Amino acid sequence: MAQETKPVLFCWSGGKDSAMALSVLRQQKELRVAALLTTVTEGYERVSMHGVRRSLLLRQAHAIGLPVQEVRIPPQCVNPVYEVRMRDAMLAQKAAGVCCVAFGDIFLRFARVPRTESGARGNERNFPDLEARYAGTGARILRDGISRRSGVH
């Protein structure tokens, strides 16, 4: 009998940390990354975290083979607006059966509190430990085949 996997929503920034964390998550047999989630700043059409163009985000998602859910936020977004839009995105994913959210940052311990207090409330959270792997980042990126053009395998 095949083991049932837990669907995970992965918060994608478009950067190397995200690509590395996604690689780590995909190695966990009990998890299945169901979709990518990212914020896009309205009017700029860029990923809010790193300024990656939306067109590149869509190419990354296509190359990864995952759907992307965009949370559109206004420029200089205030936290209450961000939280409402993120909550709505999380509720949509929950309705689709996704109840686990994963985040990936090299120095994740500094980001955990805000991420557990934001729109991920009510969902299980997964924080791949990338900091332990940080020392060999360049070699790991090359070894794992993370492309600098697409940011993904």
The residue extents of the domains of the chain are 6-144
Tokens 């190359």 appear where? Answer: 63
- Rounded to an integer, what distance in angstroms lies between the CA atom of residue 12 and that of residue 109? 17
Question: Which tops the pLDDT comparison, 140 or 150?
Answer: 140
Q: What are 150's two structure tokens?
A: 């697409």
Q: Which residues pair with 109 in a beta bridge?
A: none
Which alpha helices (DSSP H) does the chain contain, by range?
A: 16-26, 54-64, 79-95, 112-116, 137-144
pLDDT at 137 over 70: no
Cα–Cα distance measured from residue 57 to residue 136, given in angstroms and rounded to the nearest whole number = 26
What backbone phi and psi angles, to 5 degrees, belong to 135? -55, -35
For residue range 3-44, list pLDDT tens digits in order: 688 899 998 988 888 888 888 888 889 889 999 999 999 999
Distance CA 104, CA 128 (A): 6
Secondary structure (3-state) at 70:
strand
pLDDT band at 1 (very low <50, low <70, confident <90, very high): low
Q: What is the pLDDT of residue 28?
A: 86
Q: How confident is the model at residue 147 (pLDDT cuts 50, 70, 90)?
A: very low
List CB contacts of 123: < 8 A, sequence separation 6 or more.
9, 90, 94, 99, 100, 101
In the chain, % of residues over pLDDT 70: 66
In this predicted structure, what is the pLDDT of residue 152?
A: 41
Distance CA 118, CA 54 (A): 23
Q: Which of 63, 18, 21 is nearest to 38 (CA)?
A: 18
Q: pLDDT, tens digit, for every residue of 83-133?
A: 999 999 989 999 999 888 887 765 555 444 444 454 455 555 555 554 454
User: What pLDDT sits at residue 77?
Assistant: 93
Q: Using alpha carbons, select from 34, 15, 11 the residue that is nearest to residue 127.
A: 11
Round the average pLDDT of the chain to a whole number and report it: 77
Q: Which CATH number fits domain 6-144: 1.10.3720.10, 3.40.1440.60, 3.40.50.620, 3.30.230.10?
A: 3.40.50.620
